Amino acid sequence: MTTTPSDPTTALPGRPPVVDLATWQAARDELLVREKAHTREGDALAAARRRLPMVELDGTVEVVGPDGPVPFLDLFQGRDELVVYQHMWHDGAPHQGQCEGCTTTAWHVKDAVYLNARGVSFAVLTSGPWDEVAPYVEFMGYTQPWYSVRGVDAPIGGRMGHIACFLRDGARVFLTYSTTGRGNEPVNGSFALLDMTPYGRGEAWEDNPEGRTVIGDVREGHPSEGRQACWYWRSDADGNATWGPTSRPVPQWTRPGATPVETLGRHGHHH
C-alpha cells in the first residue's frame, strides 16, 4: 500500500512514497540482489588488482618533510606496503584557496591505525613547496605524514590527485597501483553514507526521482552550474554550500582561525 504525505505543503520535495513495512521489505530485497552482485564484482576487481604487474622505482629519490629531505624509502616506516594520497597544490594560494577535493579526501584519512595494523603505511604527498605546505598542515590539524614532492618526477611526483600503492622488498621499491578521479572515492566514507540516503549527495549529475530538488540546480551564475562533482565541497562561514570569494573547502571551516576571506588566491580560476 502506497500513501501520499499527509500534508503536501510541508513535505520535503521529491520524498520517497510512504508504504507499509512488508512493501518496503519487498522493494529492499529486490535491490539487495543488485547490491550483492555489485559487492561480488568489487571483490573480483580487487582480486585483479592483486594480480597487476608492478614497476620498480628509485627508492633513494628524496622528498621533503618536517625533518628536511628524506629518501622515499623512509615513507614505508619499515613496513612492506605504502599507500599515498597525492594532494594537489596551488602555489601562493592561502589555505582557503587549496583544492576542495583534495582537502575533503585528506580529511577522511587522518588516521591510518588500521592500515598500520595490516603492515601498510600511509602518507600524503603534494607538489607544493614545503614552506607553504607546513603551515597548511598545521592549520588543518592533519596527523598523517606530509611530504613535498616538488621537482620529483612521476609517479612519486608529477600530476597530483592520485591514490597510489607501493611495495617494498628490502631497499627496492615498486609501484603496484594508482587511481584518480572518482576512483579516489573509496577513501571518502562520507560519499558511501550519502549514497545510502534518500537525498544522496546533492550533486546535479545524480539520477534522482521526479520532483527531487537538487542543490546544484539553483546555483545559477557559476560556470559549472553544479554539474561538477566537487562544487558543493565549499561553504561559507554559515555552512551554506557556495562558491565565492568568502567560501573555503568544507573541512577548513572547522579549523581555528577559519574566518571569512576575500579571495581564493587563484587569480579567478579553478582546477
DSSP string, the chain: -EE--S-TTTSPTTPPPEE-HHHHHHHHHHHHHHHHHHHHHHHHHHHHHTT---EEE-TT-EEEETTEEEEGGGGGTT-SEEEEEEE---TT--GGGS-HHHHHHHHTTS--HHHHHTTEEEEEEESS-HHHHHHHHHHHT--S-EEE-TTPPTTTSSS-S-EEEEEEETTEEEEEEEE-GGGGGGG-HHHHHHTTSTTTT--TTS---TT---GGGG-TTSTTTT-STTGGGEE-TT--B--STT-EEGGGGGSTT----S--SSTT---
pLDDT in tens, the chain (271 residues): 555 555 555 566 678 999 999 999 999 999 999 999 999 999 999 999 999 999 999 999 999 999 999 999 999 999 999 999 999 999 999 888 899 889 999 999 888 999 999 999 999 999 999 999 999 999 999 999 999 999 999 999 999 999 999 999 999 999 999 999 899 999 999 999 999 998 888 787 788 888 776 654 444 444 444 455 667 788 887 878 787 778 889 888 888 778 777 777 775 444 4
Return the pLDDT at 6.
55
User: What are the structural domain ranges in the chain?
Assistant: 55-178
Return the pLDDT at 156.
95
Return the pLDDT at 229.
64
Return the pLDDT at 259.
79
Return the pLDDT at 12.
65
Return the pLDDT at 271.
40
Has domain 55-178 been given CATH number 3.40.50.300? no
